[in-house]
């Protein structure tokens, strides 16, 4: 009994030390179009006043010369307005090359960049995709931070985004 109590106590003490984390799955749908280019995708967290709490991912064409890759960043209109236009690319630990169609898993830990430490409150996860000679779409998932228990949230895109999953572990 005493041992169990000790164990329980340990678990209680240990819990806050295990950092909360956030797992995000972004699905890029495969599209049957004549001219396909991988989409530019931005993933970020917005506060209630729409200011950006954290940029989590920006996938864009990094290899092209002559600034041709950065030229289209503004097509992710919401991200560009909220945060992108303030950034100098590439963003360390955030930006990366465009990705193919399929599901892409991202994991972020509390207290570590790029998520950092979020103040307790109400937020929105925003995923925006813009495709050359294609369309543009943004999906939002509201969530509270920190979570008291594991939370699973999702949104479904209709054109340029597929299933978006957000799992928060306290």
Contacts to other proteins by CB under 8 A: 66-74, 77-78, 80-81, 84-86
Reported for 154-160, long-range contacts at CB under 8 A and 24+ positions apart, including other chains, are: 155/127, 157/27, 157/29, 157/127, 157/129, 159/29, 159/135, 160/29, 160/39, 160/129, 160/130, 160/131, 160/134, 160/135, 160/136
Instruction: Give the pair of three-digit tokens for residue 124.
Output: 């929105």
Q: For residue 84, give the DSSP letter.
A: G
CB of 157 to other proteins, least distance (A): 16
CB of 80 to other proteins, least distance (A): 7
CB of 76 to other proteins, least distance (A): 9
Identity of the residue, 91 or 101, whose beta carbon is nearer to other proteins in the bound complex: 91
Identity of the residue, 83 or 162, whose beta carbon is nearer to other proteins in the bound complex: 83
Give the contacts of 21 (CB within 8 A, at least 6 positions apart). 107, 108, 109, 110, 168, 169
Identity of the residue, 40 or 145, whose beta carbon is nearer to other proteins in the bound complex: 40
Identity of the residue, 85 or 156, whose beta carbon is nearer to other proteins in the bound complex: 85
CB of 15 to other proteins, least distance (A): 41
CA torsion through residues 57, 71, 78, 153, sign: negative
CB of 7 to other proteins, least distance (A): 53
Place of tokens 């996938």: 59
Identity of the residue, 71 or 112, whose beta carbon is nearer to other proteins in the bound complex: 71
């Amino acid at each position: 009994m005493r041992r169990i109590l000790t164990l329980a106590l340990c678990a209680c003490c240990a819990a806050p030390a295990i950092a909360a984390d956030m797992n995000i799955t972004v699905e890029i749908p495969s599209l049957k179009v004549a001219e396909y280019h991988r989409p530019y995708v931005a993933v970020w967290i917005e506060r209630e006043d729409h200011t950006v709490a954290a940029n989590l991912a920006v996938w864009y064409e990094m290899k092209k010369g002559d600034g041709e890759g950065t030229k289209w960043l503004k097509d992710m209109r919401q991200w560009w307005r909220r945060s992108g236009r303030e950034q100098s690319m590439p963003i360390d630990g955030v930006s990366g090359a465009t990705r193919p169609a399929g599901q892409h898993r991202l994991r972020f830990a509390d207290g570590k960049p790029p998520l950092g430490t979020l103040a307790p409150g109400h937020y929105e996860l925003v995923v925006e995709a813009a495709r050359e000679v294609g369309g543009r779409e943004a999906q939002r998932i509201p969530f509270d931070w920190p979570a008291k228990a594991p939370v699973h949230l999702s949104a479904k895109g209709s054109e340029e985004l597929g299933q978006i999953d957000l799992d928060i572990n306290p």
